[in-house]
Amino acid sequence: MKNRNFICRALTKLRFRVLGLATIKGIPTYEFRDLIKTLKSEGWYVTYEYYGSDAWVHYGQVKLRHDLRRLNLEWDDKTGGSIEGAGDLIRGIAYTKGYKVVDQWRWAEDSWIA
How does pLDDT run across 70-110, given as a tens digit for each residue? Answer: 999 999 998 899 999 999 999 999 999 999 998 766 655 54
Q: What domains sit in the chain, N to C, each tagged with a CATH number?
A: 2-102 (3.30.310)
Exposed (0-12), middle (13-18) or buried (19+): which is 43, by Cβ within 10 Å?
A: exposed
Q: 12-32 in b/e burial notation, b at 16+ Cβ within 10 A?
A: bbeebeeeebbbbbebeeeeb
Q: What's the pTM value of the predicted model, to 2 decimals?
A: 0.80
How does pLDDT run across 12-23, given as a tens digit for each residue? Answer: 677 777 778 899
Closest CA relative to residue 91, chosen from 108, 105, 107, 103? 103
